[in-house]
Amino acid sequence: MLRRHRKKLIGAAVVLFWLLMMGLLARRELLPLLRGPSMSASYAASPTDSWMMVLSPSEQPLGFINSQTAPETRDGLPGTLLTLNAILKMQFLGQPMRMHLGGSAWFARAGDTGSFDFAVRSEEHSARFEGALENGMLEARIHTAGEVYPLSLSVDREIVIAGVAGTSTLQLNRLDPGEETVLEAFDPMTLTLGTARVKCLGFETLGEGAAARKARVVSITVHNIESKAWIDDQGQTLRAETPLGLILQQTTSHEALAAAARETPQDLILAVAIRPSGKRPARGARRMTIRVSGLSDAVAIPEDANQRFAGNAELVIAPRSQEDAAKSARDLNDATPYLAPHPFVQSGHPDIQKTAAGIVGDRQAPWDKARAIHDWVFANIEKQGVLSIPSALDVLNSRVGDCNEHTVLFAALARAVDVPTRIALGVVWSDELDGFYYHAWPEVFMGEWVWMDPTFGQPVADATHVKLVTGDIERWPRLLPFLGKLGIEVLDVGEDMPQSHDGEQ
């Protein structure tokens, strides 16, 4: 029934924010943008304090999310103050990392007014998101690398904040088994409008003995990202399972803090690496044919001049060289959007422009500029895992990073000297991991898009790269539907590609 180390998982900071939103939206008190006559109960009448543990797929603690609410009146308007504090600890190829996300938000009971201020911090890296909701407009500012970037969005009055947990538990705990509901949603992960589709799968009992609690099990799908949640009759989420395999579980403050003090558990890169069947790939290959499996019909792998489907889910990957791309020159207008600066790809900043000009010197040809920037980034950025939201300015200053940092810095430098550049996200083969792991690399427009990989020192990226998503950081969550789902069978691997540098980083 339908009722209306050096290589890391892409966007770890985005994953933390996503998990935080999931914990936030898993509680009926924390739905500040939900509209409707029955929603007054969704605002805190008295203070609340909720703790959720973040667990690995093997249920080892990775961190926690603490959310507190309290009634607060501002300028005569009654509302709810929400305070959030989250810590996530990971390990990437043996290197422990820690990230903190904290801040607060206030929303009026009427739902027309609100403000928020959150910050993500990891070692020396940080980003802050703050702003306000007023008269249907969300006016925000992103603070990163000492710069401030504005963001303005029109917000529909009927929107709910979606996140991965999707929607209001006040509605979820009324669904009967087999019933579904579809709601309009604003997804803070992608800053776009969409829908949250929710279905009740039935009932289960969690815990044993006196601690046993009956829960309604629901599946929640937002942007083809599916999660499950266990919700009791009071609307509290007892447990939630994410597409990454990570788990949120209701806990106490003592248990959460004790778990956060433990050593970092197993490496998450190894947990999400894709172990292919068939032939063994070879780094430096010119051509590779794979068969993909495990994806829903709603999840599409992009095609371009570098990778195309040849039927029967067989994807042929043969990256174009600059010479080949130049023979198929297209209208440059198709690429002009990829000259623009971005809050985390600050191509217009004086420091980026000065560095880019110094790198390219008197070179005029676009490929010569791109090649010079590739060589400089490869040689000057230390290969080291960084748990952060990558910012080109931060990378320029720190000279440290993994594929994310190499890619955003390359993109900023290239755009600064008028070379259209976009970011590819996908997987790449690793002999060390004996599998494909998630990776980022830049594409430059040379009549067609040419893949480069300054992390590996490959002026033309090899055919062991499989692109899954194209776009700047706000599109990175679109990798989530692939995680834990994508299967790869290697059907054929072509000859080696000459390399200017050692490709194994």
Give pLDDT, residue 276: 95
Distance separating alpha carbons of residues 256 and 366, to the nearest angstrom:
53
Residue 179 near residue 3 (C-beta atoms within 8 A): yes
Please report which residue ranges of 156-238 form alpha helices under DSSP H.
Answer: 169-172
CB 323 within 8 A of CB 310: no
- State the distance between the two ends of the chain, measured CA to CA, in whole angstroms: 53
- Six-digit token pair at 20? 């935080």
Residues 106/120, Cβ–Cβ less than 8 Å: no
Distance between CA atoms of 21 and 29, rounded to whole angstroms? 13
**What pLDDT score was predicted for residue 371?**
96
Q: Return the pLDDT at 233.
A: 80
Q: Residue 363's pLDDT is what?
A: 94
Strand duo 288-293 + 77-92: pairing: unpaired
The whole-number pLDDT of residue 22 equals 42
Contacts of 186 (CB under 8 A, 6+ apart): 33, 155, 156, 159, 160, 161, 162, 192, 193, 194
* Residue recorded with tokens 């320029």: 396
CB-based contact 129:136 (threshold 8 Å)? no
Angle 380-384-387 from CA coordinates, rounded to 5°: 120
Question: Two tokens at 238?
Answer: 């007892």
Q: Using an 8 Å Cβ cutoff, are 187 and 162 in contact?
A: yes
- What is the dihedral angle through the alpha carbons of 405, 408, 409, 410, rounded to the nearest 10 degrees? 120
Per-residue pLDDT of the chain (505 residues; tens, 9 = 90+): 333 333 333 333 344 444 444 443 333 322 332 333 333 334 556 788 889 888 877 788 888 888 888 899 998 888 888 888 888 887 665 667 778 888 888 888 776 688 888 888 876 677 788 888 777 677 878 787 777 877 776 654 444 333 333 334 445 567 889 988 876 554 544 545 556 778 889 999 988 887 889 999 988 777 667 778 888 887 777 888 876 677 888 899 999 888 777 776 666 666 778 999 999 998 889 999 999 998 888 788 999 999 999 877 799 999 988 888 776 656 666 788 899 888 788 899 999 999 999 999 999 999 999 999 999 999 999 887 766 677 898 899 889 888 888 999 999 999 999 999 999 999 999 888 889 988 899 999 998 899 999 999 999 999 999 999 987 766 776 777 787 789 999 999 987 544 444 433 3
pTM of the model as a whole? 0.75
Question: Cα 252–254–259 angle (5° rounding)?
Answer: 100
pLDDT at 303: 93
pLDDT given at position 223:
66
pLDDT of residue 281: 93
